[in-house]
Amino acid sequence: MGVVATLKLSEDINNKIAWQRFLPSGPIAFLPLTKNLSSLVWSTTIEHAKALLQLSEEQFVDALNGAICKSYEHNGIIDQATKSFDSFLRLMNCSSDAIRQFPPKILGIEECSRAAFPLGFGHATSYIGKGVVLVGDSAHRIHPLAGQGVNLGFGDVTCLNKVLGDAVYSGSKIDNLSYLKEYETERQRHNIPTMLAVEGLHRLYNSDLTPLVLLRSLGLQATHALNPLKVII
Ligand X SMILES: Cc1cc2nc3c(=O)[nH]c(=O)nc-3n(C[C@H](O)[C@H](O)[C@H](O)COP(=O)(O)OP(=O)(O)OC[C@H]3O[C@@H](n4cnc5c(N)ncnc54)[C@H](O)[C@@H]3O)c2cc1C
Binding residues for ligand X, per CB under 6 A?
2, 4, 31, 41, 117, 119, 136-137, 144, 147-151, 153
Contact 102, 30 (CB under 8 A): no
Q: How far is the CB of 157 from ligand X (least distance, A)?
A: 9
DSSP run (H or E) holding 188: helix 177-205
- Which residue, 108 or 153, is less far from ligand X as judged by CB? 153
Q: Dihedral (C-alpha) 229, 99, 198, 181: value to the nearest 10 degrees? A: -60
Residue nearest to ligand X (CB): 136
5 or 9: CB nearest ligand X = 5
Q: How far is the CB of 39 from ligand X (least distance, A)?
A: 7
Residue 110 backbone class (left: φ over 0; alpha: ψ -120 to 50; beta: rest): beta
Nearer to ligand X, 184 or 225 (CB): 184
Q: What is the largest CA-CA distance in the chain?
A: 67
Residue 233 per-residue DSSP state:
-
CB nearer to ligand X: pick between 40 and 225? 40
The single-letter code of the amino acid at 212 is L
Identity of the residue, 142 or 164, whose beta carbon is nearer to ligand X in the bound complex: 142
How distant, in Å, are the alpha carbons of 69, 113, 134, 137, 156 from that of 195?
30, 28, 16, 12, 14
Closest distance to ligand X from the beta carbon of 58 (Å): 23
CB of 90 to ligand X, least distance (A): 34
- DSSP conformation class of 125: S
Please tell me the distance from the alpha carbon of residue 139 to that of residue 74, in angstroms, as a whole number: 40
Residue 98 CB, nearest distance to ligand X (Å)? Answer: 24
Is residue 25 a contact partner of residue 66, using CB atoms and an 8 Å limit? no
Nearer to ligand X, 147 or 193 (CB): 147
Give the shortest CB-171-to-ligand X separation in angstroms.
30
What is the C-alpha to C-alpha distance for residues 230 and 215, in angstroms, rounded to an integer? 17
Q: Taking the complex as a whole, how short is the minimal distance between the CB of residue 133 and ligand X, in angstroms?
A: 12
Among residues 46 and 168, whose Cβ is nearest to ligand X? 46
